[in-house]
Amino acid sequence: MDFAEAKKAVIDYCGQATGGEFEKAVGLGINQTYRQVLDSGNVPHEHRVFSFASVADTAEYGMPLYVRKIVNIEDPTTPRFVYNTTARHYDQAHAGSTATGTPFEAFSIGTRGVEKFPSVDSKITITSDSGNDSGDNFKVRVTGFNASGVLVTEIQSLIGVQEKEFDNTYDSTLGIERIVKAATSGNTFTGNLTVKDSADNVLAVIPTWWDSPDYNWVRLHTIPSSVITYNVRAEMRKPPLVNDEDWPEFDQEFHDLLIWGTTKDLLPTIGKSGTADRHRETFEQRMLDFAAEKNHRPAAIHVFADIQSYVGTQNRPGRPQIAGVDFGLASN
């Protein structure tokens, strides 16, 4: 089922009318359950290869938005793998290092709200590729560090496909912490937002599915002395369900998990705790069924007999029979 069908099923079970704040709560509940299913460990996330190019005097890099989890980073020029260390190991082995050269190690430094920081201290601009994202109903809040290193925040209304300049000047080293869409009730951003610094560098592209993105960042153990294009093998991040036609990215015979996982929490809010308990039991059983299906193993396991260890001559195979020695001999 698609997102619209899941919402309708939940609303029908709750006996409520479509629209308004209740349908919004249904959408939030379905997405919470969706993330729970995706993070259950029973959904094989797709692996893809992305790339990023190093920049002079820069050791920290944001990965593309769709990188959910990094599997490895490969330098195809050397060639070598470089994603194989931890922040603790780096601190022990390279504390305070400002060395340049070709990196052979990297480690995660967590998530940030943008893929890149401003190249110099500067104001930023945000634009949408849809003219509908304009006016007081379509605001964006930006939080980050200004040129004095002070954490600041501001909110501005967008003007559709025209660039909207924000007031604060953001630091090129400490950067931007978070960008959040803030549409008023009943309104939804329809376009992709592009965030740029004063030098026209793209800091983030926020698709319509995300209200506030998270970008995975890594630190190379040395500062690259030249441009290196790295290949990043990563698990793909699944976007939330936003549009009515959005399709949940797990086995469709278990899409009903989105219904039971939402109604078990919403039904008590309208005085149907008993029904909610039944739905909770159904959800938990369906999750067990889902796990069993994804972790299926053959029931019969066959094991070869041990014919090498000495446990009696009866368990050893006989030697090969030789023609002219064991059989085929001439007789007098």
SS (H, E, C) the chain: CCHHHHHHHHHHHHCCCCCHHHHHHHHHHHHHHHHHHHCCCCCCCCEEEEEEECCCCCCEEECCCCEEEEEEEEECCCCEECCCCCHHHHHHHHCCCCCEECCCCEEEEEEECCCCCCCCCECEEEEECCCCCEEEEEEEEEEEEECCCCEEEEEEEEECCECEECCCCECCCCCEEEEEEEECCCCCCCCCEEEEECCCCEEEEECCCCCCCCEEEEEECCEECCCCEEEEEEEECCCCCCCCCCCCCCCHHHCCHHHHHHHHHHHHHHCCHHHHHHHHHHHHHHHHHHHHHHCCCCCCCCCCCCCCCCCCHHHCCCCCCCECCCECCCCC
Least trusted range by pLDDT, from 1-5, 75-79, 210-214, 310-314: 310-314
pTM for this model (two decimals): 0.74
- Does residue 328 register a pLDDT over 70? no
Q: Is residue 300 part of a domain?
A: no
Least trusted range by pLDDT, from 179-193, 261-275, 283-297: 283-297
Number of structural domains in the chain = 2
In a shared domain, residues 8 and 148: no
- Residue 152 or residue 79, greater confidence: 152
- Residue 305: pLDDT band (50, 70, 90) is low
The reported pLDDT for the residue numbered 315 is 56
Burial tier of 213 (Cβ tally within 10 Å: 0-12, 13-18, 19+): buried
The reported pLDDT for the residue numbered 302 is 64
Single-letter residue type at 257: L
In a shared domain, residues 74 and 191: yes
Q: Is residue 302 part of a domain?
A: no
In a shared domain, residues 154 and 248: no
Give me the domain span that covers residue 17.
1-45+241-261
pLDDT mean over 279-292 = 93
In a shared domain, residues 196 and 256: no
Least trusted range by pLDDT, from 10-14, 174-178, 226-230, 308-312: 308-312
In a shared domain, residues 139 and 195: yes
In a shared domain, residues 62 and 1: no
- What is the Cα–Cα distance from 144 to 156, expressed in whole angstroms? 14
Q: Is residue 332 part of a domain?
A: no
Q: Is residue 273 part of a domain?
A: no
In a shared domain, residues 86 and 227: yes
- Does residue 282 register a pLDDT over 60? yes
Q: Is residue 24 part of a domain?
A: yes
In a shared domain, residues 7 and 150: no
In a shared domain, residues 129 and 15: no
Q: Is residue 86 part of a domain?
A: yes
The reported pLDDT for the residue numbered 311 is 53
The reported pLDDT for the residue numbered 90 is 80
- Does residue 49 register a pLDDT over 70? yes
In a shared domain, residues 134 and 11: no
- Does residue 279 register a pLDDT over 90? yes
Q: Is residue 200 part of a domain?
A: yes
In a shared domain, residues 133 and 96: yes
pLDDT in tens, 230-278: 999 998 888 899 889 999 999 999 999 999 999 999 999 999 999 999 9
- Residue 88: pLDDT band (50, 70, 90) is confident
The reported pLDDT for the residue numbered 303 is 64
Q: Is residue 309 part of a domain?
A: no
**Cα 304 to Cα 151, 301, 307, 308, 329, distances in angstroms:** 66, 10, 9, 11, 36
- Residue 86 or residue 161, greater confidence: 161
